């Protein structure tokens, strides 16, 4: 890892999972793990070191308090991304985080979407009330993936997390979750990286 990326990575020991006290969820403090997006610049976005540093910051946001996973995903991303152009980096990132810190499912597959987001939520000891039974075919038919993303967004906000979706350019659904207190940082960082990102309540 070259100097530009090392400067962006602030290594701090922190816990992976939030503590659960009664009905209260104590979320990990990741505020010192990444640089403020305002301190970053897209002026040198052709520099692979600069771009990789931005991706590293994104991985820290979607892996709050879990730098070990972020680093493992970053290594996988760098190996896959190589010298990518345009938005190809986002697809390399998708492969690196899929079913661990992110999701990517067919836009018509409500059952798989529920499973994927449940997997993300379980990582932080959270359970989503979908308002129905995943084994109920009538429930799945009545709730398309857009409606389910809205439900997941609302439920996760109650725990202090935000579900994000990025534009796949098709009907497929993709995204990740992060701490709600980092919403502004997430939006600024996505803008610098050129990723079209929306809250799960307003999917593409």
How does DSSP assign 12-51, residue by residue? ----SS-EEETTEEE----TTSS--GGG--STTTTSHHHH
- Residue 77's domain comprises 3-199
Burial (Cβ within 10 Å: 0-12, 13-18, ≥19) of residue 150: middle
Contacts of the segment 98-101: beta carbons below 8 A, 24+ positions apart: 100/69, 100/73, 101/59, 101/62, 101/63, 101/69, 101/73, 101/176
Give, as one character, the DSSP assignment of residue 157.
H
Which residues in the chain show pLDDT less than 50? 1-26, 42, 44-45
Residue 65 is predicted with a pLDDT of 95
* 204 in any annotated domain: no
Whole-number Cα distances in Å, 80 to 84, 111, 120: 9, 29, 22
Q: What is the pLDDT of residues 110-135, one digit of tens each?
A: 999 999 999 999 999 999 999 999 89
Nearest to 138 by CA among 158, 119, 117, 110: 110
* 45 in any annotated domain: yes
* 57 in any annotated domain: yes
Residue 185 is predicted with a pLDDT of 97
Indicate the number of domains in the chain. 1
Residue 173 is predicted with a pLDDT of 98
Contact indicator for 162, 48 with CB cutoff of 8 Å: no
* 40 in any annotated domain: yes
Q: What is the token pair recorded at 169?
A: 């350019």
Residue 82 is predicted with a pLDDT of 77
Check: pTM over 0.85? Answer yes or no: no
* 151 in any annotated domain: yes
* 148 in any annotated domain: yes
* 101 in any annotated domain: yes
């Amino acid at each position: 890892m070259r100097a530009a990326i090392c400067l962006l990575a602030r290594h701090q020991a922190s816990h992976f999972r939030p503590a659960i006290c009664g009905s209260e969820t104590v979320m990990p403090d990741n505020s010192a793990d990444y640089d403020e997006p305002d301190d970053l610049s897209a002026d040198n976005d052709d520099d692979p070191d600069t771009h990789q540093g931005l991706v590293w910051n994104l991985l820290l946001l979607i892996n709050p308090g879990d730098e070990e996973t972020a680093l493992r995903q970053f290594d996988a991303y760098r190996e896959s991304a190589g010298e990518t152009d345009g938005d190809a980096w986002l697809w390399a990132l998708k492969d690196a985080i899929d079913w661990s810190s992110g999701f990517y499912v067919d836009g018509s597959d409500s059952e798989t979407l529920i499973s994927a987001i449940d997997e993300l939520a379980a990582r932080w000891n959270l359970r989503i009330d979908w308002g129905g039974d995943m084994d109920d075919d009538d429930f799945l038919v009545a709730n398309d993936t857009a409606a389910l993303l809205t439900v997941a967004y609302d439920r996760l906000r109650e725990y202090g997390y935000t579900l994000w979706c990025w534009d796949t350019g098709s009907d497929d659904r993709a995204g990740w979750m992060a701490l709600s207190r980092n919403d502004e940082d997430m939006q600024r960082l996505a803008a610098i990286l050129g990723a079209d990102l929306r809250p799960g309540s307003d999917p593409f």
